[in-house]
Amino acid sequence: MAGDSTSRRTALGPELLGRALEACGNGVVIYEIHGEDLPICWINRVFTSLTGLSPDQVIGAPVIDLLRGQVDQPGIRQAVAAARAGKEYHLVVRMPHHGGGWFWDDVHGAPVCGPDGRPTHSIAIHTDISDRVEAEQRLKSARDQAVRRLEDFPAPVWRSVPGGTRFHFNRAWCALTGRTLEQEIDGGWEEGIHPEDRERVQRGWEEAHRRGRPFAIEYRLRGADGSWRWVSDQGVEVCDLDGHPAGFQGVCTDLTGRRQAEEALAWAHGHLSGIIDSLPLFLISEGADGRVELWNRVAEQVFGIAAPDAVGRMLRELPLDLDWAAIDARLAELGGGGGDVCRRRADGGETLLNLRLVQLDDVGAGSRLWTGADVGAQRVAERHQVQDQKLQSIGQLAAGIAHEINTPMQFVGDNTRFLSGAFSDLSELVREQRAALGGLTLDPAAAAALAEAERRADLGFLLEEVPKAIAQTLDGVERVTRIVKAMKEFSHPGAEELTPTDLNHAIESTTTVSRNEWKYVADLNLDLEEGLAPVPIMPGGFNQVVLNLVVNAAHAIGDVVAKSGGKGCITITTRDLGEAVQVTVADTGTGIPEAVRCCIFDPFFTTKEVGKGTGQGLAIVRAEVVGKLGGTIALRTATEGPERGTAFILTIPRRRGTSQVVRRREA
């Protein structure tokens, strides 16, 4: 049975092999490998279709004849030698067609061994790859054309292999760097990167290659002239026909001009911002939509809002504590421009803003610029200056008045004192005459006439009342002299530096001058410590402090006694505390309500009716006592009960130290 099976396979083998080779989709040629000619033994129908040659035309012919003399094509002689040696071979040749034309033939050859295992024939599989070769040629042509275009591209272009090594740079790149292609390839191009940028570029380049992501980075590259050029280097991964990564391709853009423009713009912007921030004014730019576009440093300081928190928000929705209705009305009244507006600070106090509006139609229709400054302190200083000027004028006027009044008052005083002495002598003479006449016997008629003369002259009344009248006249003269002297001392501006001053005398002078303010509504009690040593103060400023406190006390008492018709009391005390002197001005007035105690020292704050107060009185008190003298102010006040009233306790150091305002709130 085994023998029958073997003989059957042997008998059927060639037949089956022939049918299999005929059914093959490739051309098949079998030829002998012994001898020089390598004669063809068999071909299939596909080979006939490829070459146009029938079996009758090729069987027995040398295999070389198939090439029609094209044996010089690359690889043919090596393939023939491999076939004769019984080895495999592969080559691609340009094969002629018997009917005319050519096709590209992909030939794979392999030896066929006999029963003894030795090669006796070679079988060659022929595949028509003309379409593929032509496609590859077109692709190569397109690539070559692309390379030429990239080479001629006006911008610097580079290419890299999958490992990241850049292997090609076009002429524009070399022109930019002033280096040859040989110098740039294999990492040489990295030598032209600025040392400060090199590591960053290398890190970004390696990361892009590792992840296969687009590469984009800006860095400085040394130019052909040796200068550093800012470039934008951008690359993307490219793939081959099979979709496999084939490296990166990128282009550089020279950003030097743009960078220089940006740097110039940044410098100009920074310079302008510096100028804007150095201005002593707040600048707020408002767009046509009402949103903040500019908010400078002074605006941050004045309104307590940082620029990032203000820019982009609606201006009128910001917590600026401004009465926009009043501002709009003010602008309408002035026809634009602006002026002083009141604003409540974050600490509850009030100040003044000098607000101006500028239309920015050249920037954008409806755009506006608000500018101004916190002028609260400035206005206080201006009022102080005006007040000082008034005091100087009053002082000069008072000096003139004192001179004009003192001269006649001296006459009046001297003459009155003369009359007082003369009348005293006359009175003594009359008394002696009366005593002498009383011891004489006079003619009745003469005695009657003398008695009648005394009656008509009312001699007794004159002797009693004239000395009183003279004394009252002298007292009046002294009072006029004291008032004029006090007015002159109070109105004199005094020195701008600290001067040792008798506080008791200054208080007496000030209360004398202000007597008309309080005499109708209050009694004044002066509890001044005797022997109080002089204290270094500014006399004019201290006089103003006492005057403001006394006037405020008189107004507060006036509100209380307006209906009752009685009088209140103002008490001024001085006490020596050793290192300081305490001055207290107390009244029995209305007291200060809890709601406004935190604001009483603020400039322009007043609870008085229009025309009666300017809101400067207590601000001046604080400026003088706290600001100039380094003292403290304490407040004791009550609005009801037996303790109703207010007391301001001023502590003035003999040596200037830390100053503060202390507000004691008592119900």
What confidence tens digit (pLDDT) does each residue in 292-337 have?
888 888 888 888 889 889 899 998 888 888 878 877 777 777 665 6
What residue type is 510 in one-letter code?
Answer: T
**Average pLDDT, integer, range 620-637:** 85
Provide the token pair at 627.
């600001």
The confidence score (pLDDT) of residue 540 equals 79
* Cβ atoms of residues 613 and 559 within 8 Å: no
Task: Calculate the CA 120 to chain-centre distance.
Answer: 95
Average pLDDT over every residue of 648-663: 68
Euclidean distance between the first and final Cα of the chain, in Å? 134
Taking residues 249-260, what's their average pLDDT? 87
Q: For the residues 168-191, what does the mean pLDDT come to?
A: 86
Decide if pLDDT at 47 tops 50. Answer: yes
Q: For residues 200 and 208, what is the distance between their CA atoms, to the nearest angstrom?
A: 12
CA distance 352 to 343: 6
pLDDT at 447: 73
Name the pTM for this structure: 0.39
What are the φ/ψ torsions at residue 281 (nearest 5 degrees)?
-120, 150
Rounded distance between C-alpha atoms, residue 627 and residue 518, angstroms: 28
Position 572 confidence tier, pLDDT thresholds 50, 70, 90: very high
| Three-state secondary structure string covering 91-103 | EEEEEECCCCCEE
Closest by Cα among 131, 33, 40 to 84: 33
SS (H, E, C) 261-293: HHHHHHHHHHHHHHHHHHCCCEEEEECCCCEEE
pLDDT in tens, 63-116: 877 766 666 677 888 888 888 888 999 988 888 887 788 889 899 999 998 888
For residues 190-196, give the mean pLDDT: 90
Lowest mean pLDDT: which of 466-470, 642-646, 654-658? 654-658
Q: What percent of the chain has pLDDT over 70?
A: 83
* 118-148 pLDDT tens trace: 898 899 999 999 888 888 888 888 877 877 7
Is the per-residue pLDDT at 424 higher than 50?
yes
pLDDT grade for 493, boundaries at 50, 70 and 90: low
- The per-residue pLDDT for range 28-38, each reduced to its tens digit, is 999 888 777 78
Q: Which of the pair, 336 or 274, is modelled with greater confidence? A: 274
Note the pLDDT of residue 616: 62
Stronger pLDDT, 11 or 561, i.e. the higher one: 561
- Position 393 scores a pLDDT of 63
- As given in the structure block, the two tokens for residue 489 are 């001392």
d(CA 348, CA 663): 14
Between CA 137 and CA 153 the distance in angstroms is 23
**Helix, strand or coil for residue 449?**
helix
Q: Give pLDDT, residue 12.
A: 47
Half-sphere exposure (Cβ direction) of 422: Cα atoms closer than 13 Å = 6
Residue 627, number of CB atoms within 10 A of its CB? 12
The H or E element containing residue 482 is helix 459-491
pLDDT of residue 486: 63
Picking from 438, 294, 166, 592, the residue whose alpha carbon sits closest to that of residue 157 is: 166
Exposure pattern of 256-280 as b/e (b: 16+ CB <10 Å)? eeebeeeeeeeeeeeeeeeebeeee
49-52 CB contacts, 8 Å cutoff, 24+ apart: 50/95, 50/97, 50/103, 50/105, 50/126, 50/128, 51/27, 51/95, 51/96, 51/97, 51/98, 52/97, 52/98, 52/99
Q: pLDDT: is 510 or 17 the higher one?
A: 510
Give the chain's mean pLDDT.
Answer: 80
pLDDT confidence of residue 336: 58
